[in-house]
Structure 1
Amino acid sequence: MARKIRNRLFRLHTWIGLYLSAFFTFMFLTGTLLVAGLEIESIGRPAIWTTLEEDKRTASFGQIYDGIKSAHPEGDVFVILKQPTSWFVDRTYGRTGWGENINYWTNPTTGTVIHETRDIGFNTILGGLHDTFLIDKRIVFILISAMSIPLLFQMVSGLITYRRFWKGFFRWPSSSGGFRSWAGGAHRLAALWAAPLVFLIAITSFFFLLGGLGIEGGKLKFQPPAPREAALPDGFDGSVIDAAEAHARAALPGFQPVNLAIPGGKAGSLRFFGLHQDFSYLRGEITVAVDPLTLEVLNIYTPADFRGLARLNHLMELLHYGVWGGAYSMVLWIILGLVATALAFTGSLVYAARLAPTVSTGSSNLRFWRRMGPLRWVYLLVLLATLFAVSWRLHSDAYIPSRVHPVDAKGAVAQLVLHEPLRRGTLIEIELRIGAPDVSAALVEVNGTAAQSVNLVRDGDKALGRFRFEPLETENEVIAYLKKPDGTEQKVTFRMGSPIW
């Protein structure tokens, strides 16, 4: 009976491996690269690397904010990460004056900006490939995460069918029995060493599947701040942030904030995220919300306040991404990830060798490809779609339109829309969208030049027009004069700042 069960498990293990080995090879390889994706992307950026000791990284959140606003006064700051890793300077997610998402890298001692990087790069594209094949649909994420179930079955069934597997940890594959024997030995050896990682990846991926299906556990509820007229109150600067941090620390003695989220809307609060000696890093972060207007501490949440699956979310992410132990766990995950990649790849070699044991490897691989049936064309279509998605993401036409809001009026009055990025020496066309009613004509003054007329096209209650714009090396400003039939005129000013690239 035991032999029959093992034989059935082996046949099912082989059948699943036939169809999914290519998929698992791709996922393990991209996941392994993602562990150090940002490091790989930043090889040519020496400015953002540092060897500065932690006690010398003294720049406060307020200093970082002021440093960014000093270098890019028209830009916005969203999230500040102090010491994202021990080898990188401080990182901030923000937006340029012309509305393009950007990463600001600042000196960990002074808070001054030392480098800027674009939002899309090797790491983000690789992450998109790994998560959804760059198809940003929830259903794709769910389907990919669901592969954690057959992955877990493959590991369990493989260990069951590999009798006395505990004796094979140091059994090097032999080539004396031919290619098939070597491939089988390599597959079994890789499986044993990769088993801990593969089990963790399967479990954490299944957890992400539950999240994709909406099973996430209880979410934190934050008390609304005092009413204010804008996302940030008048006079908001680094000193306000530092004062808010002081209130957060006083409200929870021992709290060490490491990240800060700055509100992007009128109903948001300053949220400090960090550590506390009473809670392990593996359990999660402390969150303290502070009203940016009154500096009142609104909420304090510890890992003990999470409910349901939300309690495990932080731990699952640390384990899946390999950052639970800093640089040491990252290196371990990369090594084991390469072994897991070899595991999936040698699985296909074993099947190919079994199909054609007496012919060349190339011919057996061709038979392996044909044996996959209609699914091989699905793989081919996915590959072609992925290559197209990557080329599109890297192409200039893939730029996500950005919006510039006026500095002297509400955004509903008018806004500029850039369908291509602002770059040095590059002439672009900008769209003027007018939301104010009854505007019959518009003039635009570009960087102090004579005002030019814009041909407007009505779109319901709105009006649209386009004009050409050539950026200067210094500040770039557009002034729009909106004219109504009764002769009244409204002046609207847009400031985009100087090009970074």
Structure 2
Amino acid sequence: MRPATGKTPGKGRSLWWRVHSWAGLKLAVFMTFVLATGTLAVFAHEIDWLVTPAMRATPQDGPRASWGRLAAAAAQAEPRGRLGTLYAPIDPWFTAEAWIDMGKGAPRRVYVDPWTGTVTGTHGWANVHRFLRQTHRHLMLPTRIGIPIVSSLSFLLLASLVTGIVTYKKWWRGFLKRPRGGDARKLSGDLHRLGGLWSLWFVALIALTGLWYLVETLGGNARVPQLPTIAAQGPVPTGARLDRLVAAARRARPSLDIREIRFTAANGVVFLGQDGAWLVRDRANAVAIVPADGTVLGSLDGRDLDMHQRISEMADPLHFGTFGGLTTKIIWFLFGVILTGMSVTGTIIYAKRLEKAERQQRSAARIAWSGMGAWAYIGIALVVMALILTPGAIVGAG
């Protein structure tokens, strides 16, 4: 029996379902690629650690080598270049990493054992981390073009989130519902719904941070705090000279956990890291020291950021789950796998549903491809383009 409005029962729900299917199907190839590269990018440094022996260090009980000793070793390893940045180890089993400016092209990487202060190896700019992050972020295209293309997927994620909740009746009961066995349609459908429920928070987080990247690219980026400038400095301080500057920075900011040192021409030697502010990048906390006499040129504190700047600083740690070290990385990776799998299972659900309705006149693969229409070719073209551009964007630059 029809309701008094004359609408058929479930008509509104079927409209939501059609929107959900469209959002998850049309750009499924491209969406899966972006989600997969983003998921792997969470552990990009760790993947590089696996494939690059020079990045590995053996934790020791003794004291670590000083920043000055690390800088001196890195500078001696590439005497034709200029030391630009020095990074502390990501974890105890990582080496310290220095970036050496070679005058033209991309920097070279120098890895230094944080305990012995000896160079373990050098490497070009191209690595797994650069490939995954640049592919995921902007498809190897210029950022003003690539970031809007990738970030626009946030709208599809938000549409899938809202329509998925609406179309799943009494969804709050499904968190502990075990997937049924049987045919691929039932299994993929149950896994899709189960994964969707447990990752509601994650989908919302990734969609909103992705939307923020789009806002930034379109002109809504926050003003980056600036340090005072000085006249061009002389040689890069290393060894005991750098250690004296480190001591000066620590006197100025005792609570600053130094994670990075930048040797700049305009701002002197800049020490960056983590302090009292939570969920900010290292650049939000900084102390700039004049290398000639060790005086403090200026300081930045993440707690002084305004709301706009704070949102900008929070985006990266929240998007990639780096704010809590290895623990949050594991959580983000697992939910990234779930989200990537949902993109695949959503396509299977659509194809299997129509395959049954057509009594298997066409295969599920053909149905899925047909359902994507021209969007399938657009998605594949974007993926192939990113791979083709990789040598020029990364390998060639190194």
TM-score by length of 2: 0.89
- Alignment identity in percent? 27
Aligned to 2:52: 45
Contact 1:219–1:306 (Cα < 8 Å) also in 2: no
Contact 1:217–1:308 (Cα < 8 Å) also in 2: no
Contact 2:259–2:273 (Cα < 8 Å) also in 1: yes
Aligned partners of 2:307 and 2:277: how far apart in 1? Answer: 18
1:100-249 aligned within 5 A: 101-176=107-182, 178-225=183-230, 227-228=231-232, 232-234=233-235, 236-249=237-250
1:354-393 aligned within 5 A: 354-357=353-356, 363-390=363-390
The count of aligned residue pairs is 388
The Cα of 1:192 is off from its aligned counterpart by 1.4
Aligned partners of 1:254 and 1:390: how far apart in 2? Answer: 41
The Cα of 1:257 is off from its aligned counterpart by 1.7
Aligned partners of 1:121 and 1:102: how far apart in 2? Answer: 11
Residue type of the partner of 1:256? Answer: D
Map Cα deviations across residues 60-99 of structure 1 (whole Å, 9 max, x no partner): 2211111112233222211111122233111112234786
Distance 1:173 1:342, change over 3 A: same
The Cα of 1:108 is off from its aligned counterpart by 0.6
Aligned to 1:399: 396
Helix, strand or coil for the counterpart of 1:59? coil
Aligned to 1:258: 259
The Cα of 1:45 is off from its aligned counterpart by 3.0
1:287-436 aligned within 5 A: 287-357=286-356, 363-390=363-390, 399-400=396-397
Aligned to 1:8: 15
The Cα of 1:361 is off from its aligned counterpart by 11
Aligned to 1:18: 25
Aligned partners of 1:42 and 1:155: how far apart in 2? Answer: 35
Map Cα deviations across residues 159-179 of structure 1 (whole Å, 9 max, x no partner): 122111122123233244x43
Contact 1:193–1:339 (Cα < 8 Å) also in 2: no
Distance 1:275 1:72, change over 3 A: same
Aligned partners of 1:86 and 1:359: how far apart in 2? Answer: 58
The Cα of 1:22 is off from its aligned counterpart by 2.3
Q: Which moved more, 1:297-306 or 1:19-28?
A: 19-28
Judging by fraction of residues, say which structure has more strand.
Answer: 1
1:282 aligns with 2:279: yes
Contact 2:77–2:110 (Cα < 8 Å) also in 1: no
Contact 1:218–1:308 (Cα < 8 Å) also in 2: no
Map Cα deviations across residues 414-436 of structure 1 (whole Å, 9 max, x no partner): xxxxxxx8xxxxxxxxxxxxxxx
Residue type of the partner of 1:259? Answer: E
Aligned partners of 2:153 and 2:17: how far apart in 1? Answer: 19
Q: Which has the higher contact order (CA 8 A, sep 6+)?
A: 2
5+ residue gaps, structure 1? 401-420, 422-501
Residue type of the partner of 1:202? Answer: A
Residue type of the partner of 2:13? Answer: R
Aligned partners of 1:97 and 1:385: how far apart in 2? Answer: 29
Aligned partners of 2:254 and 2:52: how far apart in 1? Answer: 38
Aligned partners of 2:20 and 2:164: how far apart in 1? Answer: 7
Residue type of the partner of 1:369? Answer: W
Aligned partners of 1:304 and 1:386: how far apart in 2? Answer: 38
Aligned partners of 1:369 and 1:21: how far apart in 2? Answer: 10
Aligned to 2:37: 30
Contact 1:217–1:307 (Cα < 8 Å) also in 2: no
Distance 1:131 1:191, change over 3 A: same
Residue type of the partner of 1:282? Answer: L
Map Cα deviations across residues 266-291 of structure 1 (whole Å, 9 max, x no partner): x2321111233xx1442454211112
Map Cα deviations across residues 210-257 of structure 1 (whole Å, 9 max, x no partner): 2212212232122122x34xxx41584333322222222222233332
Aligned partners of 1:341 and 1:301: how far apart in 2? Answer: 38
The Cα of 1:390 is off from its aligned counterpart by 3.7
Residue type of the partner of 2:260? Answer: N
Aligned partners of 2:184 and 2:257: how far apart in 1? Answer: 57
Distance 1:8 1:311, change over 3 A: same
TM-score by length of 1: 0.71
Aligned to 1:407: none
Q: Which moved more, 1:250-259 or 1:61-70?
A: 250-259
Aligned partners of 1:51 and 1:233: how far apart in 2? Answer: 35
Aligned partners of 2:92 and 2:206: how far apart in 1? Answer: 25
5+ residue gaps, structure 2? none
